[in-house]
Amino acid sequence: MTDLFCVTTPNDTMRAALTDSFTLHEVANMDDPLTWLAQNGAGIEYVLTDGHYGLQADYFAALPDLKLISSNGVGYDAIDTDAAVARGVLVTHTPAVLSAEVATTALMLLIACYRNFRAEVENAHSGGWAKSGGLPLGRSVDNRTIGILGLGRIGMAIAEKLAPFNARILYHGRNPRDVGFTYYDDLTKMAADCDALISVAPGGAATHHLISTDVLNALGPDGVLVNVGRGSVVDEVALIAALQDGRLGSAGLDVFEDEPNIPEALRAMPNTVLTPHIGSATVETRIAMAQLAADNLLQYQKDGTVITAVPECAGLL
């Protein structure tokens, strides 16, 4: 049996797929993973992790024979891909299979912000409707100009789901794409032309606090920010200030800078809708992600190839 170092705890789908081919060594079952790796790390060629845990530098250094890191999730900024490529280690992730579900989460948050959904639900559940009547009217989602930060697979899925709402789509990214939407090379300028900005951008140094005070001010007092990408993309302190000051209308957030810790100020604001990083959190999607993470391991074990390597590893294939 081949040894597999599991930074994340394998779910039932992974166990069913992997246990005939791998011996699973799980961090969750170790008192001191680094001590275990010091004794057993040599010879381990495979790691299973996810987008949250990644692979910390101490673990990476203790695995001298590592060949493949399979990450269960589309984001992989918690893995040092430069170091992996330098050592000839392949990194895989699970794109595509979660795009539609994350797009649905973005749409859910967008609608919730416009229709004041959080307050309306509370008004019904609390009995407030019977006691005090209805709340101020929400606003329509139809016929909006929506800016998308990061028009990859998920961004395109969001654009497709917005079509029935007659949305005008703008987008910002590193380069324009051959799509029927309007490209902006300046995020602040795009924000000024948007009713709402949806961020699907990955984490990392290149996108850190890309959504800044200037961008939030450009969105304006009626603007809506939705983030289903990475929390680090948004300057959270600037966001709180903009919401408190009325310089930004509302925010629907599924990701945060210091997960799972959400600032009390964000949690207390009536003009926020917050979810605990559930972008892909459906039974069907999580099964598909887990299966792909397992399949990358199994295929590499079989013939040295993988299904979904991260772009940085293209030169290793």
Strand 2-6, strand 196-199: pairing: unpaired
Q: Could you tell me the strand order of the sheet in which 272-274 lies?
A: 182-184, 168-172, 145-149, 196-199, 224-227, 250-253, 272-274
Q: Evaluate whether 308 touches 289 at the Cβ level (below 8 Å).
A: no
3-state secondary structure of 90: strand
Contacts of residue 273, Cβ cutoff 8 Å, sequence gap at least 6: 109, 112, 113, 117, 118, 250, 251, 252, 253
| List 93, 118, 144, 277, catalytic entry | 277
Which residue from 44, 11, 49, 52 is spatially nearest to 27, judged by alpha carbons? 49
The yes-or-no answer on residue 45 being catalytic is no
Integer Cα distance of 173 and 156 in angstroms:
13
| List 93, 230, 257, 286, catalytic entry | 230
The yes-or-no answer on residue 230 being catalytic is yes
Q: 235: alpha, beta or left, given left = phi > 0 and alpha = psi -120 to 50?
A: beta
3-state secondary structure of 95: coil
How many CA atoms within 13 Å lie on the side-chain side of 8? 22
| List 122, 160, 177, 259, catalytic entry | 259
Q: Evaluate whether 44 touches 299 at the Cβ level (below 8 Å).
A: no
Integer Cα distance of 67 and 72 in angstroms:
17
The yes-or-no answer on residue 25 being catalytic is no
Which residue from 279, 236, 243, 241 is spatially nearest to 258, judged by alpha carbons? 236
Catalytic residue positions? 230, 259, 277
